[in-house]
Amino acid sequence: MGLAKPITAKDADEEDKATLEGLVADVTAAARFTRQHAIAAIYHAGSGHPGGAMSSADILAALFGAELNLWPDIVNDAHRDRFVLSKGHGAPALYAVAAHYGFCSPRAALALRKLGSPYQGHPHVLDLPWVETSTGSLGQGFSVALGMAMGLKLQKSQARVYTLLGDGELQEGEVWEAAMCAAHHNLDNLCAIIDYNKLQSDNRNDAIMRLEPLAAKWRAFDWAVAEVDGHDISELLRTFRRAAATAGRPSVIIAHTVKGKGVPYMENIPAWHGSVKLTREQAEEALAALGAQRDEIREFLDDRNG
Amino acid sequence: MTATAEAPALIGSSGDSLREAFGKALAALAGEFPKLVVLDADIAGGTGVHHFRAAHPDRFLQFGIAEQNMMAAAGGLAAVGLLPVVTTFAVFCLRAVEQARLSLAYTRRNAKIVASHPGLDVGPDGGSAQALEDIAAFRAIPGMTVLSPADPLEMAQATRAMLEFDGPVYMRTGRSPAKRLFDEDHKFEIGKGQIVRKGKDVTLVACGVEVARALEAAEHLAEEKIDARVVNMATIKPIDAGLLARCARETGAIVTAEDHNIFGGLGGAVAEALAASNPVPIEFVGVKDTFGASGEPEELAEHFGISAPFIAEAARRAIARKGKGK
Ligand SMILES: [Mg+2]
């Protein structure tokens, strides 16, 4: 099948605690880069959704760095694992984590939201070979991931399908159509992760449309449910492994996250969800808070056309 | 009719509805298209795919009454190399237009949507069930091919052509028993209209169940010494602009006829094509921007003005406008 990644969490959990710790360090570094790159890309774009990019960075880094059987030289392998960013507005974080792991050039991926750039405001499958489907209309990515999981099972593939949903996205009726369908068809090769940062475009989830009791809803739909700290990478890695070992039912990981995580002036402020314009000063402050050195900040933010 | 999936020789037999012809053809083609899977939203007996389910239960995927998820999931099935055919009523395809747009068309998936129960042809179920907007909605999606075959034989041919074609397709079938219009040497081709009756005074361009009515109208007109050409335009998108230009040049007047709203459907497609090449008088026969109602299909066609006499009357109007610049 052409799948021979050297180290994955799958091996590590069983074999070597030290390897797992090495993975955690690697994924932590990837998450830091993901946040920094996403901030820089949104700064250059003059618009974009930073809050959700920050909240989902650890989840994406854990997936790409350790869980997915997916790396740049097998993006066309029929038996690769699939990842679908159902919350398509999280594109800057997806581009950033992909750049970190060698799917695309970090510098090219800073051309977010520019005419002629493949890095559109929401991911598009025809623009980037490692994007599995186009998203940006909430709910649809989840259904497409379900279709992939169903099709892979029909073709007796061992590949797994992962999809990241926003919490506000769960207000789409299509999500619950898909939830019922995946359980009915016993799609245990499907794993949904919810970036549960408690905020959506205009306000808190519970002010817009209450989601709770959220875990109970998924249990009632007959999914295997786990709740984790979405910023605890080692817990994320172990939970992905448990989900992969779950037979007969799809898995959902409710990842409790902080919107804007890592950028103090953004954390838990709904205004940073929406498409915003970052000033040079805001971008510098964010990158510094995310651990970037002064020369790195200049490298990220200086004129891309220069 | 008592034809079954086990008797593919009966494909396209006279008296079959278009949905039955589709369902039988699909079942018969399963062997040739090993990646073919059929998606259903608890309505297989209505769409004709019960024939496929009986023959290939392992490739029949049940989505329950949840069309949005079904439509988008087809994108995922196509993404992993299968050939999904989404089936439901036309009115429920409308419910999932945005899923078709993003997850099938924007992504350029090789996925097919086959909609039964379009138009007034639905009959007694009434206005809520009669999709009169679906051609307009799907035609407006970039890259979406839109088909509406006219008789059971052509439906069987179009089913094969749709599976051989690489890209998203929306195809209308039909609920009511359909007249057999074409003989065995008929050849359906995506993107091609056919002149199914010769004539020089006016061209009647029709699709789906209206082709039979256009042919009937041409007979009426012949009694008045009006020589009407009839074009079966089974592909609405991409429209056969070359044939339309030729018909406009040769007959000088056009009538479109469809079991659909007069806005945005076949009439719109024909007018758009001819406005750019050969502007001639065009009259539109269709449902006049209103909803349908319960009744038998022939009663409804009369009531809403899409039966043969209305097509003939539109032809007289179009001919009267020739050369008058209006
Ligand atoms: Mg949120």
Tell me the pLDDT tens digit for each residue of B277-318.
899 999 999 999 999 999 999 999 999 999 999 999 999 999
Residues B136 and B281 in one domain: no
- A51/chain B closest Cα distance in angstroms: 25
Average confidence score pLDDT of chain B: 95
Using an 8 Å CB-CB cutoff, list residues of chain B that contact chain A.
37, 58-59, 61-64, 66, 68-69, 71-82, 84, 98-99, 102-103, 106-108
User: Are the CB atoms for B147 and B177 separated by under 8 Å?
Assistant: no
On the question of pLDDT at B238 being above 80, the answer is yes
Residues B220 and B77 in one domain: no
On the question of pLDDT at B48 being above 70, the answer is yes
CA proximity to B135, closest of B172, B178, B96, B173: B172
Residues B159 and B215 in one domain: no
- Is B67 known to be catalytic? yes
Check which CATH number belongs to the domain holding B122 and give it: 3.40.50.970
Partnered with residue B204 across adjacent β-strands are B230, B255
C-alpha A62, offset from chain centre: 9
| 8 Å CB contact of A181 and B63 | yes
For residue B258, give the H/E element and its range: strand B254-261
Overall average pLDDT of the A49-72 stretch: 96
CA distance A297 to A260: 19
| 8 Å CB contact of A174 and B82 | no
In a domain, B181, yes or no: no
Q: At what angle do helices A17-45 and A91-100 cross, to 10 degrees?
A: 130
Tokens coding A106: 């970090």
| 8 Å CB contact of A134 and B103 | yes
Nearest CA in chain B to A83: B76
Domain positions in chain A: 10-301
Residues from chain A that touch B63, judged by Cβ atoms under 8 A, are 181
Overall average pLDDT of the B75-94 stretch: 98
C-alpha R_g of chain A: 18
Catalytic residue among B20, B67, B133, B210: B67
* Stretch among B4-13, B29-38, B73-82, B235-244 having the lowest mean pLDDT: B4-13
Best residue of B62, B65, B69 to probe chain A, by most A CBs closer than 10 Å: B69
| 8 Å CB contact of A145 and B76 | yes
φ/ψ (deg, to 5) at B99? -65, -40
Best residue of A137, A143, A154, A222 to probe chain B, by most B CBs closer than 10 Å: A143
Q: Is the dihedral of CA B181, B167, A122, A79 positive or negative?
A: positive
Identity of the residue in B59, B63, B107 whose CB atom sits nearest the CB atom of A133: B107
Dist. CA B275 → ligand 1 center (Å): 49
Dist. CA B106 → ligand 1 center (Å): 26
Q: What percent of chain B has pLDDT over 70?
A: 95
Tokens coding B312: 């003939």
Best residue of A177, A180, A189 to probe chain B, by most B CBs closer than 10 Å: A177
User: Are the CB atoms for B84 and B35 separated by under 8 Å?
Assistant: no
Residue B190 CA: distances (Å) to CA of B124, B149, B216, B231 = 32, 10, 25, 15
Tokens coding B98: 């945005």
CA proximity to B140, closest of B97, B186, B78, B83: B97
Residues B22 and B95 in one domain: yes
Domain count for chain B, please give it.
2
| 8 Å CB contact of A133 and B73 | no
Q: Of B172, B205, B228, which one is at a domain's C-terminal end?
A: B172
Domain of residue B100, residue span: 3-172
Res A7: pLDDT: 44
Residues B155 and B224 in one domain: no
Q: Is the dihedral of CA B121, B124, B125, B129 positive or negative?
A: positive
CA distance B118 to B208: 10
In a domain, B274, yes or no: yes
CA distance B37 to B74: 9
Residue A252 CA: distances (Å) to CA of A124, A136, A161, A178 = 25, 21, 12, 12
CB atoms within 10 A of CB A1: 12
CA distance A195 to B74: 25
- B46/chain A closest Cα distance in angstroms: 21
The model's pLDDT over A105-120, given as tens digits with 9 standing for 90+, comes to 999 999 999 999 999 9
Overall average pLDDT of the B214-243 stretch: 98
The model's pLDDT over A117-141, given as tens digits with 9 standing for 90+, comes to 999 999 999 999 999 999 999 999 9
Identity of the residue in A133, A151, A180 whose CB atom sits nearest the CB atom of B103: A133
**Amino acid at residue number A162:** Y
Identify the three-state secondary structure at position A156: coil
In a domain, B211, yes or no: yes
On the question of pLDDT at B243 being above 50, the answer is yes
How many Cβ contacts (< 8 angstroms) between chains A and B? 106
Residues B76 and B213 in one domain: no
User: Are the CB atoms for A156 and A189 separated by under 8 Å?
Assistant: no
Residues B18 and B147 in one domain: yes
Instruction: List helix spans (H) across chain A.
Output: 9-15, 17-45, 50-62, 91-100, 140-154, 173-184, 205-208, 214-220, 233-244, 280-289, 294-301
Res B324: pLDDT: 80
The model's pLDDT over A191-247, given as tens digits with 9 standing for 90+, comes to 999 999 999 988 999 999 999 999 999 999 999 999 999 999 999 999 999 999 999
On the question of pLDDT at B12 being above 60, the answer is no
Partnered with residue B88 across adjacent β-strands are B115
| 8 Å CB contact of A148 and B76 | yes
Res B323: pLDDT: 82
Res A20: pLDDT: 80
User: Are the CB atoms for A224 and A245 separated by under 8 Å?
Assistant: no
Bigger pLDDT: A195 vs A304? A195
φ/ψ (deg, to 5) at A11? -70, -45
| 8 Å CB contact of A126 and B107 | yes
Res B9: pLDDT: 40
Residue A6 CA: distances (Å) to CA of A9, A243, B79 = 10, 21, 27
Residues from chain A that touch B98, judged by Cβ atoms under 8 A, are 137, 140
Residues B78 and B25 in one domain: yes
Residue B264: which residues within 8 A CB-CB, separation 6 or more? B133, B135, B136, B137, B139, B140
The confidence band for A15, taking pLDDT boundaries of 50, 70 and 90, is low
| 8 Å CB contact of B108 and A126 | yes
The model's pLDDT over B138-194, given as tens digits with 9 standing for 90+, comes to 999 999 999 999 999 999 999 999 999 999 999 999 999 999 999 999 999 999 999
| 8 Å CB contact of B102 and A124 | no
CA distance A61 to A5: 16
**Amino acid at residue number B82:** L
Dist. CA A170 → ligand 1 center (Å): 10
Using an 8 Å CB-CB cutoff, list residues of chain A that contact chain B.
78, 82, 124-126, 132-137, 139-140, 143-152, 154-155, 157, 173-174, 177-178, 180-181, 184
On the question of pLDDT at B114 being above 80, the answer is yes
Q: What is the ipTM of this complex?
A: 0.94
Identify the three-state secondary structure at position B203: strand
Residues B245 and B204 in one domain: yes
Is the pTM higher than 0.90? The answer reads yes
Which CATH number does A10-301 carry? Answer: 3.40.50.970
Check which CATH number belongs to the domain holding B270 and give it: 3.40.50.920
Residues B168 and B245 in one domain: no
